[in-house]
Amino acid sequence: MASPHYLVIKGQKTETGVKYYFTSNGNSNIVKAISYTCLADFEGKLVYNLAFGDYDTITDQICDDVSTENGDVYKVFNTVLSTIPLFFDSFPGSIMFVQGSDSSKKFIDKCKMDCRRTCIDFCKKSHRRINVYRGYINKNYDALQNDFTFYGGKKNTDDETIMEEYIQNKKYDSIFVTKNNV
């Protein structure tokens, strides 16, 4: 994860999570935030959701459903990736959960109402964000598995996430990551 990335500033760490902040210096300067928030306990391990997006300093909220297209997408993505080891250092033994905001049923339902593509069976705008993470894992899997273990998550008909050992190039709705004991 030594690719060019922005310098991050660690926010306050609490029992429920931690945030990291940085400024995207592409076409304009945009403050971004990466948040790891505790969701649940799974078999004795805490599961933390990775959220990322533009940061609203007034509301202290992350807007994760916009694409700012600031011209520095790779540097921004590498910055998000650079916080993963920091997260596991702060929360050892935990599970990181990633699911793009465009993978939710709410996103798909809203998209179908506003869609100009007239998608019938499958929303073509859905799952783009999780596919970026999947693509990175698939491309770098051999090196990454030295430090991390990956699991893929698929929604069943009851909208529950079923977790399985990660299979390269398989489509997933979400990804779970644990840090290997070294």
pLDDT in tens, 133-179: 788 888 989 999 999 999 998 888 888 888 999 999 998 888 999 99
* Global confidence as pTM: 0.83
Under the banding of pLDDT at 50, 70 and 90, the label for residue 62 is: confident
Residue 121 reports pLDDT greater than 90: no
The pLDDT of 77-84, averaged and rounded, is 91
pLDDT in tens, 21-40: 999 998 999 999 999 999 99
Residue 182 reports pLDDT greater than 60: no
Residue 5 near residue 78 (C-beta atoms within 8 A): yes
Beta pairing class for 61-63 and 95-98: unpaired
> What sign results for the dihedral spanned by CA atoms 38, 33, 128, 87?
negative
Average pLDDT along the chain: 85
Question: For the chain, what are the domain ranges?
Answer: 1-98, 99-182
Cα(83)–Cα(144) distance, rounded to whole angstroms?
A: 15
The pLDDT of residue 1 is: 46
What percentage of the chain carries pLDDT values higher than 70? 81
The pLDDT of 1-17, averaged and rounded, is 88
**Per-residue H/E/C for the chain:** CCCCCCCCEECCCECCEEEEEEEEECCCEEEEEEEEEEEEEECCEEEEEEEEEEEECCCCEEECCCCCCCCCHHHHHHHHHHHHHHHHHHCCCCEEEECCHHHCHHHHHHHHHHCCCCCCCCCCCCCHHHHHHHHHHHHHHHHHCCCEEEEEEEECCCCCEEEEECCCCCCCCEEEEEECCC
Cα(30)–Cα(43) distance, rounded to whole angstroms?
A: 39
Residue 124 reports pLDDT greater than 50: yes
Residue with the larger pLDDT of the pair 170 and 67: 170
